[in-house]
Chains A and B, each alone.
Chain A
Amino acid sequence: MYRYDEVDFRLVNERVAQFRDQTRRYLAGELSEDEFRPLRLMNGLYVQRHAPMLRVAVPYGMLSSRQVRKLAHIARTYDRGYGHFTTRQNLQFNWPALETVPDILAELAEVEMHAIQTSGNCIRNTTTDQFAGVAADELVDPRPYCEIIRQWSTFHPEFTYLPRKFKIAVSGAEQDRAATLVHDIGLHAVRNAEGEVGFRVIVGGGLGRTPMIGSVIREFLPAKHILTYLDAILRVYNRFGRRDNKYKARIKILVKAMTADGFAAKVEEEWSHLKDGPATVPDGEFARMAEFFTAPAYETLNADDPAFTAKLAESPAFARWVARNTLKHKVAGYRAVTLSLKATGVPPGDATAEQLDAVADWADAYSFGELRVSHEQNLILADVRETDLFALWEQARAAGFATPNIGLLSDIVCCPGGDFCSLANAKSIPIAAAIQQRFDNLDYQHDIGELELNMSGCMNACGHHHIGHIGILGVDKQGSEWYQVSLGGSQGEHASLGKVIGPSFAQDAMPDVIEKIIDVYLAQRHADERFIDTFRRIGVEPFKEKVYAQAAH
C-alpha cells in the first residue's frame, strides 16, 4: 500500500498544527461558531447529538495492521471503545471530546492517517473496489490512480470551498463494485483499441435528496489527462454550481440544468486550456505509484489443497462461510475473505477496540499485514491462503466476525441514524436489528439468497437506501419516526434507483413488512432467480398488494 514520504508527513503534521490552533482560537472565542464550522468539518469533525463525531479517512479503503491497532488505541483512549465503519470506507468515532481532537489527529499522523476532507463542502475521500488488486475481473489496479487523485484533491487550494460535498469513485474492474454511477464523478477504467488505459468519465450521479444515475460525459479519457480533466470539471462546478440552496448545490443539479451534453461541452472547453499542461501526469509518476501496490509475495500453491477440501467436507458451517464470505482470488490457492460486521444485534459497521486488535493480528498472520474496508461496511482480508481459512474462520467466529451473510438479507448497509446523528429524522440501527432478528435463521436467509437491504435515517442517504434491492428511509411525520420502503434499487453497472412502494410504516411494523415482501418474492420467483430479478420481472404491484392489503386489517 502507499507509504508516506517526508512530504506527506510534513503536510499532515502541518494540518495537525493548523487544526490545533483553530481549535484553540475557537475555544478562546476568537473564531465564531459559523467561522469554525467549515474548518472543523474539513477535518471530519461534526457536532453531534451527544458529542462531536470524528470521521477518519481511510483512503480508498486500505488499512495496515499498524493503522488498525492505532484506531483501536484511539477508540479505547479517546472514545467509548468502538468505531463505526461507514459507507465511504471511512471510520467514525462517536464520542471524542472536542479538546482532544487535535491529539487524536496527531496520533493518526504517526501512522500515516488523517481526517482531512472527510466532511465539508470539498473533495471527499476517493473510494474504490474493495477487491482492488486481487479481483479476477480486474482490468487495471485502480489504487495508483486513487492515490494520485488523493494527492491532487488534498488541500487543492482552488477547490477548498465548493458549493457542496464532492465524491469521486474509481473502478478498475469489469464489474463495478465502486458504485461509479452514483458519485459526483465516477471513473471507470477502460482500454481503447490501441490497448491504452483510460477512463470512462461519469458525472452527476448521486443519492441523497435527489437521487440520480450519472451521465457519461467522455467515453475515453487517457490516464495521463486524469488530473487536468478533473480540474476542468471541478472548475466548472465551482464557478457555476448553485450556492443559493444547499439542497440544489450538488453537481448533479448543475449537470441536469445544463443537460449532460451542455455540461460536457463546457468541461471540454475549460479542459482545452488545461490539457497537456503541467498537471498532466507523466509515465514516471504512474510507475512510482504502481510500485506501492505491487502484488505481495504470494507462494506458488495449488488450488483446492486436500487439507482445505477435507475441512470443507467435514464442516458444513465452515463450507457455508467459505461459499458466502470468501471470493475467488486471481492467484491459485488464495482467497479474499470478507469479515462480516453485521452480526445480529450489533449496529451494522461497528467494531470494538478488541475486535480491531484481533483483525490486525489476523491481517499480520494471514494476509500480509493489510486489510480493506468495503462500502458495504465490512472488512476484507484480501490475500488469505486457502489452507489458513479454517484457522481464520474459527478465530473470526469466536470474535463475532464470521456471520456467513455477505450479500444476504442481514448484511444490512446502515447509517448511524437518529441514535447518534443530529441530521437524522429517525433511528436506523434498532430497525436493522429487528429485521436481522426476524431473519436470524441462516438457512432461511441462504434460501432467500442474494439480497441487498440498505437503510438511511434521513434523506441524506448515508445508508445508500436508493440502491438497495430493498431500501428503507426514516422520515419524520409530525414529530414521530416512520419508515418508507422502496424496491428495485441496485448498484453496479446496471445501477438503478428504487421506487417507493407507498405510505410509510411505523417502526414496529417493519419486520412484518419486510417479511411480506420476501414472501411475495419466494412465491413468485423462478428457479435461481435473485430478488432483484424477480422484482424486475413482476414489477412493484404484487408487493404493494400484499404489504398494504394485510396492513389494512
Chain B
Amino acid sequence: MPKPLIKDRQIIDDAWTLVRDAEAGAPAGPAILPLALWKTLRDSRAAADTGVWLAPADDPAELAGAAAELPVIAVDFPQFADGRGYSIGRLLRERYGFAGELRAIGDVLRDQLYPLEQVGFNAFSLREDRDPAKDIAGLHDFSLGYQQTFLRQQPLFRHAR
C-alpha cells in the first residue's frame, strides 16, 4: 500500500521506495538509496528512478556534481532534535543548486515542518504513527520571519519595514 507523503503542501501517495539498508540492494522501480549504495549503483540504474538519502553526518558536497540529475534527495532525521539536516538542506539548495524534490525522512513531526520548509525541504515523509492530514497544518505555524532562508531569498530588513 503506498504511503502518504506531504509534497508541495499537498498529501499524495509516495511513489518511491526508501531503501534503509545499504546491504539490502536496490529494488526495481523508483528507489531512494543510501549514499554508499547510490555511489555504486548510480551508473547502472535509470537516473529518473534513482534517488539518494543522506545521514546527518554525510557530506552534501558529495552530491554537488549530481545535483542537476537527481530527482529526489532525502535527508534523514534519526531524532527530530538532531538539527544537522537543516544545514544540509540549505547547502543542497543554495550552494549545490539542487532543484528536485528535497525530502525529510525519519523522525519528522508536525512541529518541525515550518523550519524544514524554510531551509529548502518541499517533501515530508512523516513518522509512521503521525497523521499527515492533521500535521500538515504545521507548515503554516508562521506567516513570516526575519532571516534570509531558502524560501525567503531576502532577509526582512531588505524589505521596507
Which residues of A are interface residues toward B (Cβ below 8 A)?
5, 7, 10-11, 14-15, 18, 22, 35, 38-39, 121, 148, 151-152, 154-163, 227, 235, 238-239, 243, 273, 277-279, 281-282, 285, 288
Contact (Cβ within 8 A) A238 B87:
yes
CB within 8 Å for A239 and B84 given contacts A35-B109, A279-B147 = yes
> In the complex, what residues of A have CB within 8 A of residue B82's CB?
161, 243
Of A11, A39, A160, the residue contacting B83 (CB under 8 A) is: A160
Chain B, interface residues (CB within 8 Å), range: 20 to 34
The distance from the CB of A4 to the nearest CB of chain B, in whole angstroms, is 11
Contact (Cβ within 8 A) A152 B81:
no
CB within 8 Å for A282 and B86 given contacts A152-B147, A155-B142, A156-B147 = no
> In the complex, what residues of B have CB within 8 A of residue A277's CB?
148
Contact (Cβ within 8 A) A157 B147:
yes
Chain A, interface SS category: helix
Q: Which residue of A lies closest to B109 (CB)?
A: A35
Count A-B pairs with CB separation below 8 Å.
96
CB within 8 Å for A288 and B141 given contacts A39-B111, A158-B86, A277-B148 = no
> In the complex, what residues of B have CB within 8 A of residue A243's CB?
82, 84
Contact (Cβ within 8 A) B146 A154:
yes
CB within 8 Å for A14 and B143 given contacts A157-B114, A162-B83, A278-B153 = yes
> In the complex, what residues of B have CB within 8 A of residue A18's CB?
141-142
The distance from the CB of A225 to the nearest CB of chain B, in whole angstroms, is 14
Q: Say if the beta carbon of B65 comes within 8 Å of chain A.
A: no
CB within 8 Å for A158 and B161 given contacts A7-B144, A7-B156, A10-B143 = no
Of B86, B87, B115, the residue contacting A155 (CB under 8 A) is: B115
> In the complex, what residues of B have CB within 8 A of residue A227's CB?
155
Chain B, interface SS category: loop
Q: Say if the beta carbon of B104 comes within 8 Å of chain A.
A: no
> In the complex, what residues of B have CB within 8 A of residue A162's CB?
83
The distance from the CB of A226 to the nearest CB of chain B, in whole angstroms, is 12
A154 to B157, CA, bound (A): 14
Which residues of B are interface residues toward A (Cβ below 8 A)?
80-84, 86-88, 90, 95, 109, 111-112, 114-116, 118-119, 141-149, 153-158, 161
Contacts A157-B116, A235-B87, A238-B86 supplied; 10 other A-B pairs, CB < 8 Å: A5-B161, A11-B142, A35-B80, A38-B80, A121-B83, A151-B157, A157-B86, A158-B86, A239-B87, A281-B157
> In the complex, what residues of B have CB within 8 A of residue A22's CB?
111
Can you list 30 contacts pairing A with B, beta carbon distance less than 8 Å? A10-B143, A11-B142, A11-B144, A11-B145, A18-B141, A35-B109, A121-B81, A151-B146, A154-B146, A155-B115, A157-B86, A157-B115, A157-B118, A157-B119, A157-B147, A158-B90, A160-B83, A160-B112, A161-B81, A161-B83, A161-B112, A163-B83, A238-B86, A239-B87, A278-B153, A278-B155, A278-B158, A281-B157, A282-B158, A288-B157
Contact (Cβ within 8 A) B86 A160:
yes
Contact (Cβ within 8 A) A279 B155:
yes
Contact (Cβ within 8 A) B149 A158:
yes
Q: Which residue of B lies closest to A36 (CB)?
A: B111
Q: Which residue of A lies closest to B95 (CB)?
A: A273
A187 to B128, CA, bound (A): 44
A227 to B155, CA, bound (A): 11
A277 to B146, CA, bound (A): 15
> In the complex, what residues of A have CB within 8 A of residue B86's CB?
157-161, 238
> In the complex, what residues of B have CB within 8 A of residue A285's CB?
157
A39 to B110, CA, bound (A): 12
Q: Which residue of A lies closest to B90 (CB)?
A: A158
A151 to B158, CA, bound (A): 13
